[in-house]
Chain A
Amino acid sequence: GQNIDQPTEMTATEGAIVQINCTYQTSGFNGLFWYQQHAGEAPTFLSYNVLDGLEEKGRFSSFLSRSKGYSYLLLKELQMKDSASYLCAVRDQIGAGGYNKLIFGAGTRLAVHP
């Protein structure tokens, strides 16, 4: 079956660092995505990992270990505007016609406090 797990909620302090973990078990794997979603808005693409290792993009970094079925999103120098839901999604390879669909985790609600 398809399973993507991430913590439901996290809190952190402005200026701090927070790590959001994601573990997955899927039939296929063709990349892992992280999205940010503010309440009432569409998800915004943050990062994509398909090879093992760390991808850094400004204050945000994402790590992948395919052998462990594990990823994390690291947010540094937290700002109040980083309060949002963070969605982990795996691109699967199964499906009619061989299309690559995204399977989403339930999301992690991050609250950043002063």
Chain B
Amino acid sequence: SAVISQKPSRDICQRGTSLTIQCQVDSQVTMMFWYRQQPGQSLTLIATANQGSEATYESGFVIDKFPISRPNLTFSTLTVSNMSPEDSSIYLCSGGGLAEYNEQFFGPGTRLTVL
């Protein structure tokens, strides 16, 4: 199994600023994903971080708001840009293997509060 760490674990930010969240996996994974979890709700996929190419975004999420980097098979960043209070949420990084792999792991999450 893969161990995933995220930095920062939590932050309180001012409206209009940006925050970059880092995700580190202790082994190479084919796929890395970024999710958002609003309080009391389930997980919503923001985008898939592709190594060596642009991230693939889900409906309702755009690159200008959530730019993503994935320079190698063990690391990714998600930036929440021009933040507003509606962006307050937990952001989770996830990693998994190919379709034949049967597990997908999650990082501990980054709890973001925007004032």
Contact = CB atoms under 8 A, between A and B. Distances in A.
A100 B41 contact: no
A72 interface: no
B42 A101 contact: no
Interface residues of B, number: 23
B105 A96 contact: no
A51 B109 CA distance: 31
Which one of B56, B104, B105, B106 has the greatest number of beta carbons of chain A within 10 Å?
Answer: B104
Given A30-B99, A43-B106, A99 B41 contact: no
A100 B31 contact: yes
A99 B108 contact: no
Interface residues of A, number: 26
B43 A87 contact: yes
Interface string B100-113: 00111111110000
Interface of B: 1, 31, 33, 41-45, 48, 50, 56, 58, 92, 94, 99, 102-109
